[in-house]
Structure 1
Amino acid sequence: MVATKTDTVISLLTNLGLNTDVAYPALESLGDARYLRDLKINVGNVLNSNQNLTKKESLLLALSVAVNEKYQPLTDSFTNLAKQEGATDAEVAEVLACTSLLSTNNVFYRFRHFISKEYYQQTQPGIRMSIMMNPVLGKEFFELVSLAVSAVNGCELCVRSHEESVLKHGASEARVFEAIRVVSVIKGLITLL
């Protein structure tokens, strides 16, 4: 039996700027389940209804998850949507670079944390991070993206470090909470695409 796209699926895909003619078997298999309606509402809320994030910031955070999860259709869509909200090419490029750097750091520092041997703790990583010095998006938002990617990748040490840093750069806990809510919902969405 071939699943068909419900109005909810079509609406969700359209709102995300995704091609409605492409098959999304996992998403379509939900039919018109309550979860699908919840997902559509959750995605809409995290991208459009944050009190402590601008729409552009929400879309750039969503972009970081799409890049991290290597889901090109959403990477393209969130890039376009963020640019419609005023994101520059330099800001988009910085989110891509930040996501790549944090994916690297998350693996390295998660290993250090898991093993916790003196040699690994004392040896310099040798990973260049010059992008962190003068980010186009500003230190606070760069740290917020770093925190968000670290949360998606499950690096406890990185999450703690970036949460502390983003607060020191002026973010509120409410802003951090909303950022994590954005990336959580987008990560969940991607599992069905």
Structure 2
Amino acid sequence: MGIDTIKESLPAYAKDTRLNLGSVTTTSSLTPQRLWGALVATAVAARNAVVLREVVEEAAKNVSPEAIEAAKAAASIMAMNNIYYRGKHLIGDEAYQSLPARLRMQVIGNPGVDKVDFELWCLAVSAVTGCGVCLESHEKALVKAGASREHVHDALRVAAVVHAAAVTLDAEAALAG
């Protein structure tokens, strides 16, 4: 079960995704909590039921329930923030930049895990959903807090591979249905 199940579910044409999924989960510079939190958060953001169930099942063997909940919280809050901040940016009118969000975001201040872990998961989700404003903001916060660029890079790799697995499995399910 878990990552192996996802890998076995991928079709032959997704061999690179299968190999990369193995690689990002076994050769990461991230601590287990940061790695599994990034996997959970990006699995939520990628929206594939198989990927999400299998990642969370394996994550539960590697990190605390609190870390899993915080990773899901990162995905949830970034689902809102990525849309809001990307939208303001894409409109291109500077007048929107001075308007307050007036959206509740308290989990960012008290995520229940190390702040750097949560920031890393928010960055990974922002990569999946494509919000450049949030990517820049979280990368700066991570570097300022002492996270290495290698850690940021590994979180981006996790996001890319989890998203690729989810897209592939969604495509196969649509073609089979």
Instruction: Give, in whole Å, the separation in 1 of the partners of 2:91 and 2:139.
Output: 23
**Greater relative contact order, per chain length (Cα 8 Å cut-off, separation 6+):** 2
C-alpha displacement of 1:187 = 0.8
Query: 2:2–2:58: 8 Å Cα contact kept in structure 1?
Result: no
Aligned equivalent of 1:41: 19
SS in 2 for 1:101: helix
> Which stretch of structure 1 is more off in the superposition, 182-191 or 112-121?
112-121
Aligned equivalent of 1:108: 84
Instruction: Give, in whole Å, the separation in 1 of the partners of 2:94 and 2:151.
Output: 36
C-alpha displacement of 1:14 = 6.8
Output one character per residue of 1:139-192: Cα deviation in whole Å (capped at 9) or x when no partner.
111111111111111111111111000111110001111111111111111111
Output one character per residue of 1:10-68: Cα deviation in whole Å (capped at 9) or x when no partner.
xxx77434597xxx6xx43x4xx5x51x3222111101111x21344322212112111
Instruction: Give, in whole Å, the separation in 1 of the partners of 2:146 and 2:70.
Output: 20
**What is the identity, as a one-letter code, of the residue corresponding to 2:24?**
V
Aligned-CA RMSD value: 2.1
Q: Percent identity?
A: 30
Count of matched residue positions in the alignment of Structure 1 and Structure 2: 169
**What is the identity, as a one-letter code, of the residue corresponding to 1:47?**
T
| Greater C-alpha Rg | 1
* Structure 1 residues 2-13: aligned runs within 5 Å: none
Aligned equivalent of 1:152: 128
Q: TM-score, normalised by structure 2?
A: 0.86
Instruction: Give, in whole Å, the separation in 1 of the partners of 2:33 and 2:25.
Output: 9
Aligned equivalent of 1:133: 109
Query: 1:48–1:55: 8 Å Cα contact kept in structure 2?
Result: no
Aligned equivalent of 2:165: 189
Query: 1:63–1:74: 8 Å Cα contact kept in structure 2?
Result: no
Output one character per residue of 1:62-95: Cα deviation in whole Å (capped at 9) or x when no partner.
211211122122212111211111x222211111
Instruction: Give, in whole Å, the separation in 2 of the partners of 1:90 and 1:15.
Output: 21
Aligned equivalent of 2:4: 16
Query: 2:77–2:105: 8 Å Cα contact kept in structure 1?
Result: yes
| Unmatched tracts of structure 2, length 5 or more | 170-177
Instruction: Give, in whole Å, the separation in 1 of the partners of 2:66 and 2:18.
Output: 30
Work out whether 1:172 is the aligned partner of 2:160: no
Q: Which has the higher helix share?
A: 2
1:84 to 43, 61, 72: 61
Query: 2:33–2:67: 8 Å Cα contact kept in structure 1?
Result: no
**What is the identity, as a one-letter code, of the residue corresponding to 1:155?**
C
Query: 1:148–1:183: 8 Å Cα contact kept in structure 2?
Result: yes
| Unmatched tracts of structure 1, length 5 or more | 1-12
Query: 1:110–1:155: 8 Å Cα contact kept in structure 2?
Result: yes
C-alpha displacement of 1:97 = 1.2
Aligned equivalent of 1:117: 93
CA spacing shift, 1:112–1:53, aligned 2, 3 Å: same
> Which stretch of structure 1 is more off in the superposition, 113-122 or 40-49?
113-122
CA spacing shift, 1:120–1:15, aligned 2, 3 Å: closer
CA spacing shift, 1:153–1:14, aligned 2, 3 Å: closer
